[in-house]
Structure 1
């Protein structure tokens, strides 16, 4: 076949293949959430996010959905922050941050962060629930206290937690923001608290003090994929957050990006940055929706004056083993 005939057909085939890739869904309802974590439960879907400053004690927020597409504000978790928060920080912060939901058997583990902007006097707390439901997401929680803390002078910040359990029966907590980047500690898989036998502080990713946070680790095939947010968060339409990824053959690293640059040396392959009305996407977290692997994140909606808005995306795995995200929802500009 002549090249002049073959190449156009190849291009058409490529376009046809691209058109079959799943897009990010158009979500509806109350989508106002920040730092989302998403869990599928028997009666629907539950999303949790950072608390509203000065409202309901700044406690963590819920949204629920019957189908993962149409969302309803489901209120907040408790009316007061745990008592250990004020003792750790010396004051009660305006809100609690960046929850993550993890389910083992029938128990749901909720990790969350207590801190204030610009400081690394911070703590990660834990609550558990024996029967989380979308119908009553605020019921059944027991405070298990402080898991791990950082203080002034440490080279890490104990916020933005994420738990992953591995096939060898071990449990891990990734966390970190700015300072020397993303770290990891071993957990007791049953209590959800720190593993007293392994006290190693593992190094996963760093930008030498630059903006990196919101760690999330997904295992796919023989690799572990570390998702993180780079650059400026929490500034509405001035946010420059973007979603990055690297991978490793073990959960504790070393992680490298697609070009082979170590994430401990600032590496990271970009998955999504500001585009159209989708400003500053980040705060992302991988989750399982049945057999499907997906990512949940927030962005600042340009058409809504920079409101923090929920979005989900399929994780699309290429032949090279690297993920991409679906195209932005149809009609998005």
Structure 2
């Protein structure tokens, strides 16, 4: 209803302006309705186009509220979006300070995302922003990419069968929830600094479920516990595999040294698996309610991570590593 009311308000301003009638009061109503509009999943493009129509109706950004609309549009704008796409690719792109996600998928398969350099976004705040985001993506390859100053690299919403190999990130490999499963992460270099943490935020702070920031640190791996991620998608799924990655975390201060995290070059870590079937990560037999403050427990031995397998190869995906 709010979206239809916003469209009606926009048409009113355009009609009155075309008739050379005053529009100030109607423009204030339009701006208010647009700013209260929360884009539903799948309607981001509609929201952005409607916002551009607001700017057209206002004939500029002199009105203070219209300047806020322009700022909102910048924050909602993504870089490259794959929706209902198959056999696509992104290669050699250099992206700096996009609005939110530099590369994002919504229903995509057989993508190749390689050799890109992605640096920063204007909006890394609550509601799920600032991700190198694989949502509902299947059987795709993410290789040789470098990112700096993003919020997360994520798989979520049933993403499966993907390979993430040879990337360099300073944000986490994030299993964001929604039963993402059977994904492989191998020789990636991930170093998450102390500054990369939820509470280090000045504007639009919080998580995808719009809760406020906690006092945890983002480690190189993040796993969606059911009680936490139910606010947006539910638990991570089974058999997300980490192998031969170089993972480091800085704790305490921005001057502290980096420490190794979950580094065992020959060991295969299968998250969400015990005894060959799905098992929620648990501590002492009780499923964790949140990955925050539980990042350093040992989940091997029937507690949600199967680490019984070792392999002497450099890669489980490639027969020969270049």
| TM-score interval for Structure 1 and Structure 2 normalised by the shorter chain | under 0.3
Q: Report the TM-score when normalising by structure 1.
A: 0.24
By percentage of residues, which structure has more strand? Answer: 1
Which structure's relative contact order is higher, taking Cα pairs within 8 Å and 6+ residues apart? 1
Greater Rg over alpha carbons, structure: 2
